[in-house]
Amino acid sequence: MAKKLRAKKLKMRPGDFTLVVMVLLLAIFGVIMVFSASYYWSIDKHGTPYYFLIRAGFWVVSGFFIMLFFAMLDYHKLGGKFAIAMLIVATIALALVPTPLGLNINGASRWIRLGPITIMPGELAKFAVIIFVSWFFSEKPERIKSLIRGVLPMIFLCGVFGGLTMLQPNLSTAATVVGVIVAIMFIAGLNYWYLGGLAGLGVFALIVLIISDTEGYRWKRYASFLDPFKDPKGDGWQVVNSLLALGSGGIFGLGLGKSVQKNLYLPEPQNDFILSIIGEELGYVAIWLLLLIYIVIIWRGIKIAMLAKDRFGMLLASGVTAMIGIQVIFNVAVVTATMPPTGVTLPFISYGGNAMWMFMASTGILLNISRQQVVEGD
């Protein structure tokens, strides 16, 4: 009797069920917390407590269908001309921010308005960079070993996207974009000497940005980070109220809807500092559970990358996972005053349609890669 040989073969699978459950849990929980955190801010600014709730609910529901679309779309169609087109569109969108089309809110120009539609080019840039860099190093894998054909083009890309986002100014998006590019390059097989050089270049660029800050914007952010209580009613206002919220919540929190700091003390608590309100109302236990869910999502992303059927899928999944991980780390660090305050959202939870759609689309890509992953079979 002939010996039965087992070999790897490709099978279309239903998708990563655990990933879907974790993401939907975060999204639904996010809508609840956006409603709670924005209650008084919504009444004060819009005359109704439901303004942010309705929009957050719409973005989650529409984001769910976006996730389904990308889960059904073969991720290989994202490479080639589409990847290049996405990069060009993202670059143009970022370049339009300083123009009259740009929308200035609270001293930062991070949006462009096209009729009734408001677009945040920074979110589009993250999505475009993941797709393009993954395709770039999968189409010709040998590029990662070449300084001229691989590393230098990425340094140029970091400079263009980092420079355009810093004009807004938006340090967190610039750092996320650069971090994602470097992460994908590392997974693709970047030489450690090149990696060290990129790290040194990044530190040098940061120093130049701080020194060239003629208006003092970044110096004020840095000073409020070092000692937020030195100017608690000025530059340290957000950080101080964030720490007060976390401290007053304790282990089990004050109870859902019972936050004090959301009563117009913490500005726009439904956005970047929503984790502070979660800690105040539901306690450290809720924050630990949230971090555990994020760890599960990152674990599933890593597993999907490891089982991807080709290099493009592996790099794409790695880039999406890196982006989620970097943003979670940045948001938690800002809320806990571990790093200077920057405008970075908490994935799947913070209020914001652009970010929600981008994260849902990225999740859909992960699901499609998982549907085509390599499995053991006869």
Buried b (16+ CB within 10 A) or exposed e, 286-304: bbeebeebbeebeebbebb
Give me the domain span that covers residue 232.
22-72+214-370
The alpha helices in the chain, defined as continuous H runs, are 17-46, 51-72, 81-96, 121-139, 152-166, 171-188, 192-211, 217-226, 237-249, 274-306, 311-335, 353-371
Q: How many CB atoms lie within 10 A of CB 96?
A: 16
* Residue 120, Ramachandran bin (φ over 0: left; ψ between -120 and 50: alpha; else beta): beta
Residue 173: per-residue pLDDT: 83
The number of angstroms, rounded, from the C-alpha of 341 to the middle of its chain's C-alpha atoms is: 16
CB-count exposure of residue 6 (10 Å: 0-12, 13-18, 19+)? exposed
If you search the block for the tokens 């490479």, which residue do you land on? 79
Look at residue 270 in the predicted model and tell me its pLDDT.
87
Rounded CA gap, 36 and 32, in Å?
6
**Per-residue pLDDT at 225:** 66
Q: Tell me, what's the pLDDT at 12?
A: 60
> Quick one: which of 1, 11, 5, 2 has its CA closest to 373?
11
Residue 142 lies inside a defined structural domain of this protein? no
Distant-in-sequence, close-in-space partners of 79: CB < 8 Å, separation ≥ 6? 131, 134, 135, 138, 139, 312
Task: Determine the residue type at 261.
Answer: Q
Q: How far is CA 107 from the centre of its chain?
A: 22
The confidence score (pLDDT) of residue 184 equals 94
Give me the pLDDT at residue 150, please: 84
| pLDDT tens for the 378 residues of the chain, in order | 333 333 344 456 677 889 999 999 999 999 999 999 999 889 988 889 999 999 999 999 999 999 999 999 999 999 999 999 999 999 998 888 877 777 766 666 677 777 667 788 888 999 999 999 999 999 988 988 888 888 889 888 888 888 888 777 777 788 888 899 999 999 998 877 777 777 777 777 666 666 665 555 566 666 666 667 776 676 677 888 888 888 888 899 999 989 888 887 888 888 888 999 999 999 999 999 999 999 999 999 999 999 998 999 999 999 999 999 999 999 999 888 888 777 788 999 999 888 999 999 999 999 999 998 765 443
Q: Please name which of 291, 315, 322, 55 lies closest in space to residue 190, comparing C-alpha atoms.
A: 315
Residues 142-162 as b/e (b if ≥16 CB within 10 A, e otherwise) read ebbeeeeebbeebbebbebbb
Angstrom distances, CA of residue 169 to CA of 80, 111, 165, 324, 348: 31, 11, 6, 21, 23
Q: Chain centroid to CA 187: how far?
A: 19
Residue 105 placed within a domain: no
The total domain count for the chain is 1
Query: Counting beta carbons within 10 angstroms of the beta carbon of residue 74, is it exposed (0 to 12), middle (13 to 18) or buried (19 or more)?
Result: exposed
Residue 148 lies in a domain: no
pLDDT at residue number 165: 80
Residue 92 belongs to a domain: no
CA–CA separation, 88 and 160 (whole Å): 12
**Is residue 43 included in any domain, yes or no?**
yes
**Domain assignment of residue 66, yes or no:** yes
Q: Backbone phi, then psi, for 374, in 5-degree steps?
A: -80, 130
Question: What pLDDT shows up at residue 5?
Answer: 32
Side chain identity at 301, as an amino acid letter?
A: G
Do the Cβ atoms of 98 and 109 come closer than 8 Å?
A: yes
From CA 331, how far away is CA 343, in angstroms rounded? 8
CB 317 within 8 A of CB 291: no
Return the pLDDT at 1: 34
* CA dist., res. 349 & res. 371, Å (int): 26
Alpha carbon separation from 114 to 68, 228, 352 (Å, rounded)? 26, 37, 17
Please report which helix (H) or strand (E) contains residue 3, including its range. none
Residue 114 lies in a domain: no
